[in-house]
């Protein structure tokens, strides 16, 4: 029997040698200093946080006809100012007017029938009183009068309804405002409740701002904001935070804020892009650290302070003001001083006394 010996080629031997060399280098790197990103602590001035937003109407309503009809007049366009009671559109009133005419004719007939029933009831009552007529005839006349009264009441109600429907042929503004959109054209047939146009109030405006979750802690209802037009920052107004969205958007993880600017100048038109800055006293000597530098464990917070002389790290407890954050950094109340160097990334990967190699990160 012939035995087959494995053939080991030169390329295979080279591959083994390279793999062994790489393994040795990896082992050396694993036991060497750990590279970390770091920054030097520096005190700075803390001022209000700014957000971009858009001016919107707090109240915007849909105007719609209450009855079916064909539009014969539309008197308002997008951007037009309207006043309460202004007629902004009309539908063809012909069919509605016919209904009113018919109801008026029915009312006249019912009125005549009621008057005849009154005369009959009165005559039968008199005859029954002097025993010149039967009680049964009187009772029939009395019942006829009641029936005529009911028919008269029904005719009156029908006429009131027809006149009310005729009034619906004219669409009126419910308050002073501006037309923000138009949905129908003249000649179009609309159904009851179909939106014809939208009107927004101008005396109640909000700035709508979407704020990251990390920045919500420092805000509360009633917080004052300085609001400036982005196209002309010299145009400013004072706003008040009136609503904080309770839930974050599922995709953006932001909360919606509504800042009231009811007394803002007219230049703060609907749709204007603005910058809203939370009003607060400026504070000097504030230390802000990236959130990535903070190690949180068992209810305590700390940072890795770098010993430059020995190139090692030491975990130090710090006290934070979690309510003061710009979404990326947090205010340090105590535990650090200016000039110290801290690790700003990979806090969960370090160990006490571990050798490190710093690569200082530029300050934000």
Residue 302 belongs to a domain with what CATH number? Answer: 2.40.420.20
Model pLDDT for residues 150-199, shown as the tens digit of each residue:
999 999 999 999 999 999 999 999 999 999 999 999 999 999 999 999 99
* 78/188 same-domain check: yes
pLDDT of 122 reads: 83
Q: Mean pLDDT, to the nearest integer, of 296-315?
A: 90
Residue 81's pLDDT band (cuts 50, 70, 90): very high
pLDDT of 130 reads: 73
pLDDT of 203 reads: 87
pLDDT at 4 exceeding the cut of 70: no
- CA 42 to the chain's CA centroid: 38
Q: Provide the CATH number for the domain around residue 220.
A: 2.40.30.170
* 209/271 same-domain check: yes
pLDDT of 296 reads: 87
pLDDT of 78 reads: 93
**Which of these ranges, 114-128, 277-291, 336-350, has the smallest mean pLDDT?**
277-291
pLDDT of 2 reads: 41
22 lies in a domain? no
* 208/241 same-domain check: yes
Residue 323's pLDDT band (cuts 50, 70, 90): low
Q: Would you say the pTM of this structure is higher than 0.95? A: no
Single out the residue in 142, 167, 192 at which a domain terminates.
167
Q: Provide the CATH number for the domain around residue 105.
A: 1.10.287
pLDDT at 107 exceeding the cut of 80: yes
10 lies in a domain? no
* 128/157 same-domain check: yes
* 75/192 same-domain check: yes
As a whole number of angstroms, the distance between CA 142 and CA 145 comes to: 5
Single out the residue in 222, 254, 278 at which a domain terminates.
278
pLDDT of 21 reads: 42
323 lies in a domain? yes
* 152/214 same-domain check: no
As a whole number of angstroms, the distance between CA 121 and CA 140 comes to: 8
pLDDT at 28 exceeding the cut of 80: no
7 lies in a domain? no
| Burial 91-129, CB ≥16 within 10 A → b, else e | bebeebeebbeebeebbeebeebbeebeebbeebeebbe
26 lies in a domain? no
18 lies in a domain? no
Single out the residue in 278, 301, 336 at which a domain terminates.
278
* 213/271 same-domain check: yes
Q: Provide the CATH number for the domain around residue 184.
A: 2.40.50.100
Which of 127, 153, 121, 163 lies closest to 139 in space, CA to CA?
121
Residue 17's pLDDT band (cuts 50, 70, 90): very low
313 CB-near residues (< 8 Å, 6+ apart): 36, 304, 305, 306, 307, 343, 350, 351, 352, 353, 354, 356
* 211/254 same-domain check: yes
* Mean of the per-residue pLDDT values of the chain: 83
326 lies in a domain? yes
pLDDT of 342 reads: 94
**Which of these ranges, 6-15, 236-245, 300-309, 323-332, has the smallest mean pLDDT?**
6-15
Give the residue numbers spanning the domain of 181. Answer: 67-91+170-200
Q: How many CB atoms lie within 10 A of CB 43?
A: 15
Q: Mean pLDDT, to the nearest integer, of 96-105?
A: 93
Indicate the DSSP class of residue 202: S
Q: Mean pLDDT, to the nearest integer, of 27-44?
A: 76
pLDDT at 303 exceeding the cut of 80: yes
* 121/214 same-domain check: no
* 209/320 same-domain check: no
124 lies in a domain? yes
* 112/82 same-domain check: no
Residue 343's pLDDT band (cuts 50, 70, 90): very high
User: Averaging pLDDT over each range in 85-89, 115-119, 142-146, 277-281, which range is the top one?
Assistant: 85-89
pLDDT of 219 reads: 80
pLDDT of 234 reads: 86
Task: Please state, for a pLDDT cut of 70, what percent of the chain lies above it.
Answer: 85
pLDDT of 73 reads: 94
pLDDT at 27 exceeding the cut of 70: no
> Domain count of the chain?
4
As a whole number of angstroms, the distance between CA 66 and CA 281 comes to: 54
**Which of these ranges, 44-48, 117-121, 151-155, 196-200, has the smallest mean pLDDT?**
44-48
pLDDT of 47 reads: 65
pLDDT of 298 reads: 81
Model pLDDT for residues 241-293, shown as the tens digit of each residue:
999 998 888 888 889 999 999 888 889 999 999 999 887 656 677 888 888 89
pLDDT of 50 reads: 79
Q: How many CB atoms lie within 10 A of CB 352?
A: 9
* 77/180 same-domain check: yes
As a whole number of angstroms, the distance between CA 219 and CA 107 comes to: 65
């Amino acid at each position: 029997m012939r035995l087959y010996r494995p053939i080991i080629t030169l390329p295979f031997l080279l591959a083994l040698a390279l793999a062994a060399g790489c393994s040795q280098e990896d082992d050396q790197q694993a036991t060497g200093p750990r590279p970390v990103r770091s920054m030097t602590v520096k005190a700075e001035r803390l001022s209000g946080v700014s957000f971009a937003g858009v001016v919107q109407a707090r109240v915007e309503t849909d105007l719609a006809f209450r009855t079916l009809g064909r539009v014969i007049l539309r008197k308002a366009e997008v951007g037009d100012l309207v006043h309460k009671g202004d007629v902004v559109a009309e539908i063809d009133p012909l069919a509605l007017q016919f209904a009113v005419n018919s109801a008026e004719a029915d009312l006249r007939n019912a009125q005549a029938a009621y008057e005849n029933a009154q005369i009959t009831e009165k005559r039968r009552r008199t005859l029954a009183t002097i025993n010149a007529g039967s009680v049964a005839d009187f009772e029939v006349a009395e019942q006829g009068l009641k029936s005529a009264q009911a028919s008269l009441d029904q005719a009156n109600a029908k006429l009131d309804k027809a006149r009310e429907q005729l009034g619906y042929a004219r669409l009126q503004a419910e308050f002073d405002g501006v037309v923000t959109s138009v949905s129908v054209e003249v000649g179009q047939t609309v159904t009851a409740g179909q939106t014809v146009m939208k009107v927004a109030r101008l005396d109640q405006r909000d700035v709508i701002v979407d704020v990251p979750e990390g920045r919500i802690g420092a805000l509360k209802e009633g917080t004052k904001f300085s609001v400036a037009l982005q196209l002309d920052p010299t145009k400013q107004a004072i706003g008040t935070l009136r609503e904080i969205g309770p839930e974050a958007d599922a995709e953006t993880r932001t909360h919606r804020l509504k800042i009231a600017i009811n007394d803002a100048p007219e230049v703060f038109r609907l749709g204007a892009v603005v910058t809203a800055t939370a009003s607060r006293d400026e504070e000097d000597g504030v230390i802000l650290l990236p959130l990535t530098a903070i190690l949180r464990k068992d209810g305590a917070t700390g940072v890795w302070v770098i010993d430059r002389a020995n190139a090692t790290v030491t975990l130090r407890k710090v006290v934070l003001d979690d309510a003061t954050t710009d979404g990326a950094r947090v205010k340090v109340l105590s535990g650090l001083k200016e000039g110290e160097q801290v690790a700003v990334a990979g806090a969960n990967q370090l160990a006490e006394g571990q050798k490190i190699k710093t690569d200082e990160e530029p300050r934000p």
